Chains A and B, each alone.
Chain A
Amino acid sequence: MKPLSLLACLSIASLGACVSQPEPPTPATLTDTSDENIVALTSALAIAMGRANIKLGAMKDAPATQVTVLPPPRGKYEMNSPALPTHFDILTNGRECWLIQQETGERFEAPGLKCTAMGDGS
């Protein structure tokens, strides 16, 4: 359990109202690279990034455990651009897939996305 989750539970427990937590997510891979699955992925990423147009960056050889979202293309005057790609880890609790933004730790649901827990060959 992540520290923040533990803190939340402890704080709530002190009020006598600790709620049960879902199974902790585990790292997962994208084994299905069909168009349908990529659409599910980019749809979730669009919400995570707050923009409609999502372009995926270079990824390591499959199976990928993270996805990279490219920043918008640079305008013609952006010659000192601090733009960076955004990276998301893929996690699953066995039923649903999640995207975790690496820099902020924010977690996003990804409905319809098919992913496979690491080490799970099924």
Chain B
Amino acid sequence: MTSKISHKWIATTAIIAGAAILTACSVEDGSSIVSSPLPLPPPPPVGTTWQQGNFENSSRFEDRCEVVRTGTDIEGNAFPDQAGTLADELFWLRSWTDETYLWRDEVADQNPNNFTDKLVYFDELITTALTPNGDPKDNFHFSQPTADYLEQRNSVATPDYGAYYSFIQNTPPRDLRISYTEPNTPASDTIGGVANLSRGTRILEIDGIDLVNSTSTADIDALNAALYPSTNGESHSFLVQDAGSNTTRTITLAAEPISEDPVQLSSVINTPSGDVGYIHFTTFSPDVSEQEIRDAMTTLSNAGVSDLVLDLRYNGGGLLAVASQLSYMIAGSAQTSNETFAALQFHNQAGNGNPVTGGSNNPTPFYSTGLGFSVASGASLPTLNLNRVFILSTDNTCSASESVINGLRGIDVEVILIGSTTCGKPYGFYPTSNCGETYYTIQFQGVNDKGFGDYAAGFAPQNASSNGSVSIPGCFVADNLNFQLGTETEPLLAAALQYRVDGTCPAFQSSPTQKMTSAEAQKSLKSGVGLHIETPSVNRTNMDLSTPNTKWEQGR
């Protein structure tokens, strides 16, 4: 059997031995030298007896479950459950919140014994403070069954067509368009030289059901089921109309296992004032994102581009480490050496440690080498050595994407934002499971090298209405689905190229194919006639760090 021999054990041995020596030296007359006794602390609460303001360590209650699971989970790990009570689970939530929640001192300490439902109690373990705009300060508090959590995170490829949807309008007359498609998927397959679906294509009917005007629950359910297939091979017919076309066509799509391709497009744009790199980067989440963004930046570095337009308009985030690597590759070693990309700021009692992992809380540097996700650890990364970058954004630009903006601004690399206000999610969490439920509670806020991380209302181009967001240089430009991504006439990219030349923004033009914002989409949902996508099985939907909104607007 493998045994663990750690330096920790050796250190412990050394400390014990050393202590023995010290003890021998300190005892001269057979009695210990003792100081005056300190006043005893108040007795800790006993078990699940509530005492306001006194919190036992959460480990006291961890894995003590009202319903004990046996066997192993889908990842092969034995369930750690022990026989316990509902009170144990409630007191675990209370102590875990006190130990890790970012705004722990804003949570009212209610007696868990007054609750009969752990999810109801969990909903109480949240700040009730509001933002200056009157919105809840914490919008990201939810849980889901651990079985669902594990199933989702292990679903590498899900049944899909490979298309991302955007609603121009989600109430009759609905206007559902394609924002982009994954390459080599049913959506992007071509028939007679025409892709089944492409950016701007409008879906009019599915299986003969009128998507534009239907209002019956049965029709809406059928439409949602067809838009989000659940099984591979599931086939549906679509009546579609391409952007700028007056004619319709019918296609048939069969769902396949689809994996995300993080770098959708990378190109070099030749301009009179030098070559400009363009990358459409859609996710920092999969391990392969490290390799794909490295490869794209290598190409641009080899081409000697003098500017970069980074298209993060549909990038909801993912791995902070890859965001750090990308930022390093943009700025280069001279600007990033020994600087902090992002530091995780925990609650005000956390000290220098990470209260969630129990480990140290070292700031994330600008990683200059591969980390092993998909690029070998230690392998050098290319650099563009730029002191400015153009980032294309929408309200789907979230989390790790925003950390690129914040991280680069922290070292005085100029970030020019073209598009609309980002979603504003500087917060993060470690999903934590106990007794079959996985809980998400905000535990940290990312701050940059200057210690700044207050962008909960997002970053906004300077000529956009700020509404509490952080105004930074750039131009407000609406995302227009009539234009193909990466083309120089596409409004956001065109604006970046214009701003690059003379520092001006294009005149504002509202677009007939401007997608709805997340807030608008939610409003239409509540109206009852909006198409809604399959709801993630969370107890409070649309409360996560990005996905429900993201999936709502551009879910596949």
Contacts and interface: CB of A to CB of B under 8 A. Distances in A.
Residue among B3, B6, B427, B547 with most chain A CB within 10 A: B6
Interface SS of A by simple majority? loop
B399 interface: yes
Contacts of A108: 2, 4-5
Interface string A8-42: 10011011000000000000000000000000000
Nearest to A15: B17
A109 B3 contact: yes
B435 to A, nearest CB: 18
Contacts of A5: 10
B364 A11 contact: no
Given A58-B372, A81-B319, A12 B377 contact: no
Contact of A15 (B10, B21, B321): B21
Contacts of B149: 75
A78 interface: yes
A11 to B, nearest CB: 3
A87 B545 contact: no
B535 to A, nearest CB: 12
Given A57-B377, A58-B370, A48 B13 contact: no
A73 interface: yes
A70 B287 contact: yes
B11 interface: yes
B129 interface: no
B425 A80 contact: yes
B430 to A, nearest CB: 8
B7 A105 contact: yes
A85 B290 CA distance: 12
A109 B2 contact: yes
Contacts of A105: 6-7
B372 A70 contact: yes
B4 A48 contact: yes
B312 to A, nearest CB: 12
A44 B4 CA distance: 10
A57 B374 contact: yes
B14 A58 contact: no
B545 A78 contact: yes
A78 B431 contact: yes
A111 B370 CA distance: 29
Contacts of B547: 76-77, 79
B501 interface: no
B536 interface: yes
Nearest to B374: A58
Contact of A80 (B77, B377, B446): B446
Given A15-B21, A58-B375, A77 B546 contact: yes
5 closest Cβ contacts across the A-B interface? A52-B76, A79-B317, A80-B428, A68-B372, A11-B17
Interface of A: 2, 4-5, 7-8, 11-12, 14-15, 43-44, 47-48, 51-53, 57-61, 66, 68, 70, 72-85, 87, 104-111
5 contacts: A4-B11, A80-B320, A80-B426, A80-B427, A109-B5
